[in-house]
Chain A
Amino acid sequence: MNRKVDLPLTKDVAASLNVGDTVYLSGSMYVFRDAGHKRLFASIEAGNPDLDYAGETIYFMGPCPALKGQILGSCGPTTSCRMDKYTPYMFDTGLAAQIGKGKRDKASIEAIARNKGVYFAAIGGAGAIYSKCVTSVEVIAYEDLGTEAIRRITVKDFPVIVAIDSQGRDIYAQ
């Protein structure tokens, strides 16, 4: 099924998405990957979180620099399983959805189901296509991390597949 979905993702919309659905996302999301998660968790452990992600969607991605005519450079997904370590805590503390590529571990799938979240798979390697969907970008934190800084981007008709739905059904297990 093909659907257009707005971000931030509401609980009702999340619950209506089924594994395997093709979804075109529009709205804003946070973007960061390995180093951003590592530093955010250090701030959480220190009792002073650097980011409030409740109700938000996080896209695992580190962009290329923007070229002439681009708002953001090539920006396809990175491998999500490297962020599995952080995922249960983030869904348990209010994260609505993640976007990345590839299979997830059992604890992450259970956390997504427990919290009625969603994991979307973007198409790995499709960096040029995704850059055309970006309408704005802003660095929010950790600018010294370069491509791994925390960014907030706005996208229009950003194509993804529902890889794990709110019932915990997993496209990679089918």
Chain B
Amino acid sequence: MREIDGSAITALIEQHIAVIARNAEESCAARLKELADSESNPTAAFALKVMCDNIDVAAAKGYPVCQDTGMAVVFAEIGSDVRINGDIYEAINEGVRRAYAPLRKSVLDPITRVNTRDNTPAVIHLSMTKGSTIKLEIMLKGFGSENMSKVYMLNPAQGLEEAKRLIVRTVEEAGSNPCPPVIVGVGLGGTFEKACMMSKHALFRKIGSRNDDAELDAIERELLDKINALGIGAQGFGGKATALGVFIEKYPTHISSLPVAVNILCHCSRCAIVTI
């Protein structure tokens, strides 16, 4: 049995949040630069150039890339041969508390709207696996895009074609609000909450990465083409750059249903995957 101290988890969470708040994920930044160079709509091209300049300035100066430094979401996959000394929830939240000291505190009580003043609690999803390591997937999720996310409980007769139509429609209705070009996470199947969890987890994929499942890969490409034909474009100013990627996870579901969750991320992915 390998022992891992809660303080080691706290230190990693603090360190990585500090980095990702200031640095767009690399594959995302690279794709934005390609789009800025190829966009023919002048207003959208201007917006893409400002976005790319912003990523460069944030990284060079150590400024948060966006003022919405988000709510921290952490997926922690814990090996069954690991014993954690301390409370893993508190260990993660302490890392969040420390990392957000110089960042914007956006987390508050949903009823009183009173701010917790340290951006805790994080949204934490724990799961178990084999082995003697802990995998932490950390995302700072802004809510301009989170607010545009949707879940649909389809019936089996509606099927995959209706699911595809609704995924595209969700991006279309979100329009300029989630700071396009967006990244689209989709959860297909499972239950209501499983679909939502998968749609969030799918957003950790690198821009340009292919789905291991050939069928999902084909659907991802079809949806990306359809979304980029909508004409919403960067910041909603028109042009070709409406989405950077569509990423799908699936899970078996019930004979009565087809859950479809669509989680939207802005143009600037802020995530990290680390293993202890």
What is A's interface to B at a CB cutoff of 8 Å?
20, 22, 35, 61-65, 67, 69-70, 73-76, 78-79, 81, 101-103, 121, 123-129, 131-132, 146-147, 159, 161, 171-172, 174
Contact = CB atoms under 8 A, between A and B. Distances in A.
Contact of B176 (A69, A132, A172): A172
Contact of A101 (B117, B144, B268): B144
Contacts of A102: 144, 175-177, 236
A147 B108 CA distance: 12
Interface stretch (B61-69, B184-192, B256-264): B61-69
A164 B235 CA distance: 14
Interface stretch (B52-60, B89-97, B162-170): B52-60
A172 B175 contact: yes
B8 interface: no
B104 interface: yes
Interface in B215-257: 235-238
Interface of B: 43, 46-47, 50-51, 53-54, 57-58, 61-69, 102-106, 113, 115, 117, 144, 147, 175-177, 179, 235-238, 266-268
Contact of B104 (A65, A124, A126, A128): A65
Given A129-B53, A159-B50, A64 B236 contact: no
B46 A35 contact: no
A129 to B, nearest CB: 4
Contacts of B238: 174
B192 to A, nearest CB: 26
Contact of A67 (B54, B57, B102): B102
A128 B177 contact: no
A13 B100 CA distance: 41
Contacts of A103: 175-177, 236
- SS of A interface (majority): loop
B63 A146 contact: no
Contacts of A171: 43, 236-237
A63 B67 contact: yes
Contacts of B268: 125
A76 B66 contact: yes
26 contacts: A35-B113, A62-B104, A64-B103, A65-B104, A73-B63, A73-B104, A74-B58, A74-B104, A76-B68, A78-B68, A79-B147, A103-B175, A121-B236, A123-B235, A124-B144, A124-B235, A124-B266, A125-B266, A126-B50, A127-B58, A127-B63, A131-B63, A146-B115, A146-B117, A172-B176, A174-B238
Nearest to A171: B237
Contacts of B237: 121, 161, 171
Contact of A147 (B53, B104, B179): B104
A128 B144 contact: no
Contact of B267 (A67, A79, A125, A174): A125
A127 B67 contact: yes
A73 B250 CA distance: 40
B236 A127 contact: no
A65 B105 CA distance: 9
A74 B63 contact: yes
Contacts of B177: 79, 81, 101-103
B106 A22 contact: no
A6 to B, nearest CB: 21
Contacts of A172: 175-176, 236
